[in-house]
Amino acid sequence: MAAIPLPTPCYAEKLLPVSFSSHATSAHKIRSSGSFRFKRLNKSQFVCRAASSVAVADLDADEFRHPLDRQNTLILRAIPGLNEIGKALLGTVTEQVMLLENIGTSVLASENQLPELHQLMVEAAGILNIEPPDLYVRQSPVPNAYTLAISGKKPFVVIHTSLVELLNRKELQAVLAHELGHLKCDHGVWLTFANILTLGAYTLPGLGSLIAQRLEEQLFRWLRAAELTCDRAALLVARDPKVEVVISVLMKLAGGSPSLADQLNVDAFLEQARSYEKAASSPFGWNAQTRQLSHPLPVLRAREIDEWSRSKEYKLLLQRLKWVNSVV
């Protein structure tokens, strides 16, 4: 098989990783520079729970999957040869480069290394009935979290130090739950294949660019739908009837900072979301602004999760919460 050249990798930043991003981005490399001091986590921020937790009994991914996610996943699966091309592009060497690039520059959380963050991940995974992935903390001034699922290897989540600084304990766990939602719904493998496909297809002679351009709009539409699903996973873990935790995360990522945290207002942000929806109702508004974005706009995500929090579907899932023994 002829080798298909891929861009010189810093895959952790280039591959549009499945992420709880600080903002919606198109498929461009995100560069970060400078240093960022990692503040020591103290017990006022993190308090480990007792040796038991809750879980949604027999939770299936389709029970909280957003309808747009389900619809656009079916469309992607119907594209002839997509899986085969993705597997060809995602070869052994590429997988290894991706793995080493992401874990070689980060700190692995465990029971004796960043134990509070590790506990947040374990608790969130227990609620969603999923095996906890590895969790890495990476130095970066860009608030972000992302997941990579590489075939044959344990999936892992990476969070940036600036995100830890920006969010409180409950908000951080909501972010981790969002990332777990990608794994619960098998988004990780799909997105890894799709990202490699898009990057690699542009290097193919002849029709390669045309193939990638045709896939791009549908791919981004699916990416945005997948993010809405994972916001629901975050809400299930937060178990917050007023949705303040998840919406607070979205609000902080849109325009927050540690010094402004006590001035932010969830209700005002939801009102902003409603005003945006009204302003973007013209044919040239919402679609023109979002069609090339990998993530839905924060105000639209806030509106979507607020609506789902009042749904019968969400309330029935909460009724299935039960106490279980902790996995640690």
Contacting residues for 47 by C-beta, under 8 A, at least 6 apart = 169
Contacting residues for 66 by C-beta, under 8 A, at least 6 apart = 225, 228, 229, 232, 304
- Centroid of chain to Cα 79: 24
Distance (Å, whole) CA 77 – CA 233: 23
Distance (Å, whole) CA 328 – CA 324: 12
Half-sphere CA count of 284, side-chain side, radius 13 A: 0
For residues 295 and 191, is the Cβ–Cβ distance under 8 A?
Answer: no
Residue in 13, 179, 216, 227 annotated catalytic: 179
For residues 24 and 296, is the Cβ–Cβ distance under 8 A?
Answer: yes
Q: 131 catalytic, yes or no? A: no
For residues 17 and 146, is the Cβ–Cβ distance under 8 A?
Answer: yes
Structure letter (DSSP) for residue 110:
B
Distance (Å, whole) CA 229 – CA 69: 7
Q: What is the DSSP string of 114-164?
A: SHHHHHHHHHHHHHTT-PPPEEEEE--SS--EEEE--TTS--EEEEEHHHH
Distance (Å, whole) CA 253 – CA 25: 13
Residue 113: φ, ψ to 5°: -140, 110
Residues carrying an active site annotation:
179
